[in-house]
Amino acid sequence: AQKVTQAQTEISVVEKEDVTLDCVYETRDTTYYLFWYKQPPSGELVFLIRRNSFDEQNEISGRYSWNFQKSTSSFNFTITASQVVDSAVYFCALSEAGSYGKLTFGQGTILTVHP
Amino acid sequence: GAGVSQSPSNKVTEKGKDVELRCDPISGHTALYWYRQSLGQGLEFLIYFQGNSAPDKSGLPSDRFSAERTGGSVSTLTIQRTQQEDSAVYLCASSLIAPQNTGELFFGEGSRLTVL
């Protein structure tokens, strides 16, 4: 069975601080995919990134960066110089090969960025 | 519209009644998914339609839940004899299928169901 754990239920930071959201996963599959989604107050989940299990390169997109480490089964997400608009619930998710859309989600981390 | 459209946005019903939730996916997206988001269980996969293949119903919590997709487009999720534990936000998502599928699901804003 697959499992995703986001141990941080809530994080509160002040604008311009860096913040890292942790994600640890469990799967027996050798090929799998990891995702991060953002859920702003409007409620609509927004895709941020997909990573496959064979690609451990870190990725940076603007103020966002992701660190994938198979050795520790982690896929952490860092926001640099956080902004109030980053306030949202962030979900880490896992899917097996060939089933991109059938996701196992973590419980989510509520991020609040204060001005 | 250009996004995934769900209706109703809010539904209040009495225990024991049947409800239908509708999802209109993005045009051209042949894969469609239903998820449920509740305080106790988080985000849970319910059912997945891909093209003309038989749907993956492995996430449906009981036989009171069913879904259909007519003409490869609009989908309806039906909950029969609703129970209070069915109260949740029901999210629909659509996507392209492989190989165009990058793994990005496009979600609607959800239908909030409250069972009294």
Q: What pLDDT, in 10s, does the model give residues B83-97?
A: 999 999 999 999 987
CA count, 13 A, side-chain hemisphere, A39: 23
pLDDT digits (tens, 9 = 90+) for B8-40: 999 999 999 999 999 999 998 889 999 999 987
Rounded mean pLDDT of A11-18?
97
Q: Rg (Cα) of chain B, in Å, rounded?
A: 14
Alpha-carbon distance B99 to A52, whole Å? Answer: 14
CB < 8 Å to A99, chain B: 48, 56
The DSSP secondary-structure symbol of A44 reads -
pLDDT more than 70, % of chain A: 99
Alpha-carbon distance B56 to B54, whole Å? Answer: 7
Alpha-carbon distance B47 to B55, whole Å? Answer: 7
Interface of A with B (CB under 8 A): 33, 35, 37, 42-47, 50, 91, 93, 95, 98-108
pLDDT higher than threshold 80 for residue B98: no
CB < 8 Å to A100, chain B: 95, 98, 101-103, 105
Nearest residue to A67 (alpha-carbon basis) of A82, A51, A83: A51
Token representation of residue A54: 């064979």
Best B36, B45, B97 residue to mutate vs chain A (most A CBs within 10 Å): B45
Which residues in A53-84 are b (16+ Cβ under 10 Å) and which e? beeeeeeeeeebbbbbeeeebbbbbbbeebee
pLDDT higher than threshold 90 for residue A65: yes
| pLDDT of res. B62 | 94
Q: How far is A98 from chain B (nearest CA, A)?
A: 8
Token representation of residue B77: 């999720």
Cis amide prior to B55 (ω within 30 degrees): no
pLDDT higher than threshold 70 for residue B100: no
Rounded mean pLDDT of B58-65?
95
pLDDT higher than threshold 70 for residue B1: no
Using the Cβ of B33 and the Cβ atoms of chain A, whether some distance falls under 8 Å is answered with yes
pLDDT higher than threshold 90 for residue A113: yes
Residue A72 backbone dihedrals phi, psi, to 5 degrees? -110, 10
Q: Which residues contact A99 (CB under 8 A, 6 or more apart)?
A: B48, B56
pLDDT more than 90, % of chain B: 73
**C-alpha distances out from residue A101 to A65, B24, B33, B47, Å:** 23, 17, 7, 10
| pLDDT of res. B101 | 61
- Concatenate the DSSP letters of all residues of A15-42 into one string: TT--EEE--EEE-S-SSEEEEEEEE-TT
Q: Do A44 and B89 touch (CB under 8 A)?
A: no
Q: Do B110 and A44 touch (CB under 8 A)?
A: yes
pLDDT higher than threshold 90 for residue A56: no
Intra-chain end-to-end CA distance of chain A, in Å: 41
